[in-house]
Amino acid sequence: MLDKVKVLLDEVSSYSPKNPEELEQFRIQYLGKKGKMNDLFAAFKEVPNDQKKAFGQALNQLKQAIQDKLDEGKASFSENTQQSSGLDLSRPMSADQLGSRHPLSLVRNEIAEIFKRIGFTLSEGPEIEDDWHNFTALNLPDEHPARDMQDTFFIQQNPDILLRTHTSSVQVRFMENNQPPIRTLSPGRVYRNEAISARAHCIFHQVEGLYIDNDVSFADLKQTLLYFAKEMFGDKTEIRLRPSYFPFTEPSAEVDVSCNICSGKGCNVCKYTGYLEILGCGMVDPNVLKNCGIDPNVYTGFAFGMGIERIAMLKYQVKDLRLFFENDVRFLEQFKSTF
């Protein structure tokens, strides 16, 4: 039996496969279920006891020689394949074509980071909402005329299920499940049935903030927004507040920032006013607090909301909102160096 093993060892040592198919046949011939190695292991019990040690060592040597031949063949054929295809698969990947985040994601993350520095936490909610969280809890009962301000997408003709028109619904859900002090920021995608143009879209993104605690005042709101504007647009940025109306805040205001294109001097972008509108805000209406289980006699708060597209257009001086949704590579490549 030892002689048979030595003969096979010589065969293996002298064998030279010409292609991967021959190498595979070699593997099956020696290591397959019906291969020569299995036959030798099966014959091991017939070997005299005084020869078993030598026979076992010879078998292990043969098996190792077969495995070395297989590894050598695989490496050789792999190298030949790379050379014939002109590809070096061991070459490190080039990092020249790295992508970047979408500009809306960049602005969203920057807004969130600014407010995180003053204690705001992020909260999210469903995009498919019910009437209570999207309208009624926010001081818009069924007959309220302010519902007409938002042309809504309803689901399957069900007047109680809709695509949310603002992320204020997330604030309602947060207030229902948390007691003051509350300081939360709610970013997300919203939907309104509007004609698509350079300044409007049926899908857009909002970030809304909410702060509720003891003795929160309008002055706190103003200072918070001034801090945000300077962090987002630069230290020289100024803001102004104009009286406005929102059903869920009272008093309410629109916030403008000094135009970063003309530095407040007046241009066609800001319509020569020196200011651009960026968000709406106000003190949370007591009815909203009451609807969410918070005592308006103990707590007060403010809320604000802004369109991410609007901020991105001002920050990157983009004049057509549709560019954010068309996935034009020429447009997106401009943000490669932005993290």
DSSP assignments along 267-327, one per residue: -TTTTTSSEEEEEEEEEEPHHHHHHTT--TTT-EEEEEEEEHHHHHHHHHT---GGGGTS-
**Cβ atoms 5, 40 nearer than 8 A:** yes
Mean per-residue pLDDT of the chain = 86
pLDDT at 41 over 80: no
pLDDT at 84 over 60: no
At 164 the three-state DSSP class reads: coil
pLDDT at 168 over 60: yes
pLDDT at 302 over 70: yes
**Cβ atoms 305, 280 nearer than 8 A:** yes
The tokens for 93 are 């990947």
Where does the pLDDT of residue 18 fall: very low under 50, low under 70, confident under 90, or very high at 90 and above? Answer: confident
Q: Which of 25-39, 131-145, 315-329 has the lowest mean pLDDT?
A: 25-39
pLDDT tens figures, 183-200: 999 999 999 988 888 878
Where does the pLDDT of residue 307 fall: very low under 50, low under 70, confident under 90, or very high at 90 and above? Answer: very high
Q: Select the more confidently predicted residue: 274 or 211.
A: 211
**Cβ atoms 201, 194 nearer than 8 A:** yes
Question: Interhelix angle for 308-316 vs 218-233, to 10°?
Answer: 40
User: What pLDDT was estimated at residue 288?
Assistant: 97
The tokens for 294 are 């918070």
User: What pLDDT was estimated at residue 74?
Assistant: 81
At 60 the three-state DSSP class reads: helix
Average pLDDT of the segment spanning 245-267: 87
